[in-house]
Structure 1
Amino acid sequence: MTLSTSLQALDLDDSIQLEQDGSILYLWLNRPESRNAMNLNMVNAIQQVFAAIRNDLSIRAVIIRGEGGTFCAGGDIKDMATLRVEAANVGSLQPYVDFNRRFGAMLEQVEAAPQTVVVILEGAVLGGGFGLACVSDVAISRDNAQFGLPETGLGVIPAQIAPFVLKRIGLTQARRLALLGMRFEGHTALSVGVVHQIAHNEIELEQALQETIQHIKRAAPEASRVTKVLLHRALNEPLSDLLDDAAQQFAQAVGGTEGQEGTMAFIQKRLPNWTDES
């Protein structure tokens, strides 16, 4: 299907590939020769996509997965060599700072997307790939996917990743995984809270994805967006003020188009109109 108008003007390289099926956008990490390791081009491309769809109400979900049967092996080591030369040329560590912070900005952008973000995790889910998994709304993994935070074993730190990992799984588990740099598979990722569902083969994986998409389509689009923002706000704002604001949003939802349609659909024992694809 043709991409949404918001995406058609983007000038993207081949580090990612986009496909769209109705209201569902598929974003493929497309560097299989390097196990989809993230370089600056890929980070920039992902940022461009999420900036473009920020206000695109026609896109309800973004499915992120990796070409070649692997999700993402982390940052591209080749970029480090390039940055080393740049740092030497300018006599400053600033090139490292800028590159690292750009990756964190991308994670912030994905996490804040109004759409529901789903990741399909196969093969390597390491370093930056682990961080990307942690900013998703729904994570579905193969049982044999390999997870880990290998940074300390390389003499570096998970600088931009750690805050998102901590938010996802809590300090107790984050400390163990980050400090030991251990590898683990899908069932452990499920038990610590990185992923929500495990698939034991490709058929189960695709079935789980399609079921998730159907659930997304059954939820009212604007209600889903407002709910996602509310959940993130609950982590940072005073409770009483948040609940006051949430009550106002609830009233607006009940009296709004979606609330009225949802109520009538329930009474009439039919699906609400937002489940139909245009």
Structure 2
Amino acid sequence: MRYETLAVQQRDITLFITLNRPQARNAMSLKMVEELNQAFQFANQNPDIRAIVLRGAEGHFCAGGDIKDMAGARAQSSNTGDEDPFFALNRAFGHMITQANHASQVVITVLEGAVLGGGFGLACVSDVAITAAGAQFGLPETGLGVVPAQIAPFVVTRVGLTQARRLALLGERFDGHEAVRLGIAHYLCESPEAIEATLDDVLNKVKRAAPDANRVTKALLHQVGTIEMEQLLDQAAHHFAAAVQSEEGAEGTMAFVQKRLPHWAQ
């Protein structure tokens, strides 16, 4: 597929998606949202892809939503009686971030420079987040007179309601050290070389995990708090029984006994 706002490349088990609007600090346009949806759909249809790496071009992850799109929506709103274009614009981002949140792959974000607004939201739905110490995080929406509407629920899930209130209502800005302390990011890196070394290490760990077991485990984790506990544990037991009896389970057990790597880790 051809992309205008992304650079997308598959290497081994990983799909690398780079937000590629460096002239705008990779601000998220509606076109970028559409292309991210397409990239996630491609990954969902390709079982060979076991990890997705999201990062930004030329030193910034994402500076939030593109203000030009809001201006375009305002012009559209005055010229048409159709669906509210501001609603459609905001909701399109919500559909994309939900798709990212529920991707069956391990989603890894590499956070550098600006990690604001929508970029902050993407960080909050990643399974693993690697941050530069000097990255700048924040939710600037209320300072612009708007609302972090599609992002807020994912921020609450990531850091808890108490911290989310502070971050959203004060528009706090903070660096990678604080992002790790809050649980937004997992790995803190002091140099570009450390970021690349950490990313390589994380991808090697993903490769050692069985693909189907990882997919089922991620889906199970997403169900916590959404259904009654006994029902969840019943489902989990069925998943466990199926995994033990699967080809993947047999291979994993045999590899352990024979003191070798299972085929998916080679």
TM over 0.5: yes
Moved >3 Å (runs of 4+):
none
Instruction: For 2:235 and 2:86, locate their aligned partners in 1 and report how far apart those are by CA, in whole Å.
Output: 41
- Choose the corresponding residue for 2:69, options 69, 79, 93: 79
SS across alignment from 2:45: coil
Instruction: For 1:235 and 1:274, locate their aligned partners in 2 and report how far apart those are by CA, in whole Å.
Output: 31
Q: Does 1:200 align with 2:190?
A: yes
Q: Could you tell me which residue of structure 1 aligns to residue 166 of structure 2?
A: 176
Asked whether the equivalents of residues 148 and 182 of structure 1 are also in contact (C-alpha less than 8 Å), the reply is yes
TM-score if structure 2 supplies the norm length?
Answer: 0.98
Letter of the 1:221 partner, please give it: P
Q: Does 1:264 align with 2:225?
A: no
Instruction: Tell me the alpha carbon deviations over residues 53-110 of structure 1, each in whole angstroms, 9 at most, x when there is no partner.
Output: 2131110000000001110000001111111100000157700000100000000000
Letter of the 1:272 partner, please give it: P
Q: Does 1:29 align with 2:16?
A: no
Q: Does 1:275 align with 2:265?
A: yes
Instruction: For 1:273 and 1:179, locate their aligned partners in 2 and report how far apart those are by CA, in whole Å.
Output: 49
Asked whether the equivalents of residues 13 and 41 of structure 1 are also in contact (C-alpha less than 8 Å), the reply is no
Q: Does 1:166 align with 2:156?
A: yes
Instruction: For 1:147 and 1:87, locate their aligned partners in 2 and report how far apart those are by CA, in whole Å.
Output: 31
Structure 2: gaps (5+ residues): none
Map residues 123-272 of structure 1 onto 2, 5 A cutoff: 123-272=113-262
Aligned residues: 266
Structure 1: gaps (5+ residues): 1-9
Map residues 93-108 of structure 1 onto 2, 5 A cutoff: 94-108=84-98
Letter of the 1:267 partner, please give it: V
Instruction: For 2:192 and 2:55, locate their aligned partners in 1 and report how far apart those are by CA, in whole Å.
Output: 13
Instruction: Tell me the alpha carbon deviations over residues 159-207 of structure 1, each in whole angstroms, 9 at most, x when there is no partner.
Output: 0000111111110110000000010000101111100110000111111
Instruction: For 2:202 and 2:149, locate their aligned partners in 1 and report how far apart those are by CA, in whole Å.
Output: 31
RMSD of aligned C-alpha atoms?
1.0
Instruction: For 2:245 and 2:57, locate their aligned partners in 1 and report how far apart those are by CA, in whole Å.
Output: 44
Greater CA drift, 96-105 or 47-56: 47-56
Give the deviation of 1:226 after TM superposition: 0.3
SS across alignment from 2:53: strand
Letter of the 1:104 partner, please give it: G
